[in-house]
Structure 1
Amino acid sequence: MRPRRDAGPAVVHRLAEAGDGLGTVFLVHPGALAAGVHRTLAEALPPGTGLTVLDLSGHPAYWEAALTGGRADTTVEELADRIGDELDALDGGGPRTLAGWSFGGVVAQALVERMPAGRRPDRLVLLDSIAPTPEYQQPDDALEPPLLLGWFAMYLGAKRGRPVDVDPQLLAGGGTEDGLRHVLAAAAAGGALPADTAPAGLRKLYDTYVDGLLRNNRLTAPYTARPSSVPLVLVTAERSLLPGDRTLGWGPLAPHGLEVHRSPGDHYTMLSRPDAAAVIARLVRPAAPARLAPATKV
């Protein structure tokens, strides 16, 4: 077990301040990459539009789970309530949009359904977020090494700002240690890591990454989501975590409509690529006055 650190990241990151009456995008972020990765989106939004990132990693029970084996002493509902409290404290009126990336979309959708009906946003924007439905709630052992290693390579490339392109055939059917050697070779070839990087150092980063995924998987497994009371807008990456899955399971939770768009990049680089940010910016731009309420425990 890795030791705990003294303090985690902040919850609230104001990446762009809203001009008078121009509105703010509030984006629920689950960590993995630093919240500052959304600065590309802040720059793509119309001038005067605010962007505030609400980082789940600012909540110790969530953040520490990625450092101590992937078991979090919290729930999706509790995280939604905590983010709702932050929104309430930040509420200054004016147009607003609520969005969530990856597991942050699950928490954002839970938050909307815990708001009073008259205080909900007019839509929820989900960025490559997998739906918390029975078909997609998988046991830990369903996350096999070839799948995890492919995701890790995408994550490492986004984190280092250089491509880490691993042939999936090299990962298929293999174990973690062999797979990490292929990832390391690809990272060195793409300039993401020095050629003399110690395998043990990469393994430590991989273990922390996987613990974060297990944490989110374990939080989602017992959670029962309510159908959305507002229309859903889903943006899937060209290289999503689940390639070829157009709706990522959100159809059954979208009785008021599911609008699907495609973004350049993969699950991680969609947050930093200017061409992806241009797609997302059009969809999250606040369009009408709305006031987000604090989460209400039900």
Structure 2
Amino acid sequence: MRLRPDRTPQVVRRLRVATGDAGTVYVVHPGALDAAVHQSLAEALPDGAGLTVLDLSALPEYWQAALTGGHAATTVEELAGRLATELTAALDEHPYSLAGWSFGGVIAQSLVEQLPADRRPRRLVLLDSIAPTDVYKPSDDELDPTLLLGWFALYLGAKRGAPVTPDAERLAGASIEDGLPVVLEAAVTSGALKADTPIFGLRKLYDTYVDGLLRNNRLTAPYQAAPSSVPLVLVTAEGSLIPDDPTLGWEPLAPLGLTTHRSPGDHYTMLSRPDAAAVIAQLVHAT
């Protein structure tokens, strides 16, 4: 989640420029994986359609919190306001659509409500995004290590380009100290990590990953989302972070309708798999 020192942070990252009247898809991206991961979606869009990422990891008050214990000196509303300003400046007369992945969906939904009514998208597409409703506002102590280790394994697999599937029975009830060696073993077996990878190096990556989750959790805790003024479209991954809830808590915030769809892949690989991109492209295109 650390920004590379050789990259100048840019909130607006154009992965594909629109031509003609096809319009642009804007995706709110919260980091974890580099924003370029959305290139698969850009390539799956119809000819002429553009794709621009609104990258939260370019905002220092957001990304630095993942390196300093997960405490962010900002709010959901402030982050959404920053992106709303960037989006408004980027829009032209052509149609556009808006999506948000993971915590980016929370920011995108807040962003929509800050736009003038005549500048809002026709709908908002949420990509495996968990709703900011009370049922999904756990305290830090309620974030179970087994759950976090499983999510970290998914993230590690996507980041390294090889699936990491630790033994679920060995992870169940394990502490971080006992569970990380299980994740490391699975990562070495799949080729995601080298056999000589030190456990302390994996622990550092894990701690940064969890600090990012804590940051998002703490930003969401005081936030009271307004009901959406546009219809919501939710795309959940087959390997969703919360596989037992097909709506991920969005129903109370969708008075104008919530439609659900399923995508191949897990929470992270749904962004890079061509088969997942094909599903998502049909839902996010502005026409």
TM-score, scaled to structure 2: 0.97
Alpha-carbon distance in structure 1 between the residues aligned to 2:225 and 2:7: 31
Matches within 5 A, 1:44-193: 44-193=44-193
Q: Which runs of no fewer than 5 residues in structure 1 stay unpaired?
A: 288-298
Structure 2 residue 242 is the aligned partner of structure 1 residue 242: yes
Alpha-carbon distance in structure 1 between the residues aligned to 2:92 and 2:261: 30
Alpha-carbon distance in structure 1 between the residues aligned to 2:95 and 2:54: 17
Task: Name the structure 2 match of 1:24.
Answer: 24
Q: Which runs of no fewer than 5 residues in structure 2 stay unpaired?
A: none
Structure 2 residue 259 is the aligned partner of structure 1 residue 259: yes
Task: Name the structure 2 match of 1:290.
Answer: none
Alpha-carbon distance in structure 1 between the residues aligned to 2:141 and 2:191: 32
Segments ≥4 residues shifted beyond 4 Å: 5-8
Task: Indicate the SS of the match to 2:263.
Answer: strand
TM-superposed CA distance for 1:47, in Å, is 1.3
Q: In structure 2, give the amino acid aligned to 1:26.
A: Y
TM-score, scaled to structure 1: 0.93
Q: In structure 1, give the amino acid aligned to 2:171.
A: L
C-alpha offsets along residues 121-143 of structure 1, whole Å, 9 cap, x if unaligned?
Answer: 11000000000011111111111
C-alpha offsets along residues 54-85 of structure 1, whole Å, 9 cap, x if unaligned?
Answer: 11011100010001110000000000000011
- Aligned-residue RMSD, C-alpha: 1.4
Contact persistence 1:8–1:60 (CA under 8 A): no
Identity %, equivalent residues: 70
TM-superposed CA distance for 1:9, in Å, is 3.1
Task: Name the structure 1 match of 2:222.
Answer: 222
Alpha-carbon distance in structure 1 between the residues aligned to 2:170 and 2:126: 32
TM-superposed CA distance for 1:118, in Å, is 2.2
Task: Indicate the SS of the match to 1:97.
Answer: strand
Contact persistence 1:98–1:123 (CA under 8 A): yes
Contact persistence 1:109–1:228 (CA under 8 A): yes
C-alpha offsets along residues 249-275 of structure 1, whole Å, 9 cap, x if unaligned?
Answer: 000000100000000000000000000
Task: Name the structure 2 match of 1:292.
Answer: none
TM-superposed CA distance for 1:149, in Å, is 0.3
Alpha-carbon distance in structure 1 between the residues aligned to 2:17 and 2:187: 37
* Count of aligned residue pairs for this structure pair: 284
Alpha-carbon distance in structure 2 between the residues aligned to 1:6 and 1:275: 32
CA change 1:8–1:204 in 2 (3 A) is farther
Contact persistence 1:70–1:211 (CA under 8 A): yes
Alpha-carbon distance in structure 1 between the residues aligned to 2:254 and 2:70: 30
Task: Indicate the SS of the match to 2:276.
Answer: helix
Q: In structure 1, give the amino acid aligned to 2:210.
A: V
Alpha-carbon distance in structure 1 between the residues aligned to 2:100 and 2:153: 22
Q: In structure 2, give the amino acid aligned to 1:131.
A: A
C-alpha offsets along residues 225-251 of structure 1, whole Å, 9 cap, x if unaligned?
Answer: 000011000000001010121000000
Task: Indicate the SS of the match to 2:107.
Answer: helix
Task: Indicate the SS of the match to 1:244.
Answer: coil
TM-superposed CA distance for 1:6, in Å, is 11
TM-superposed CA distance for 1:8, in Å, is 7.0
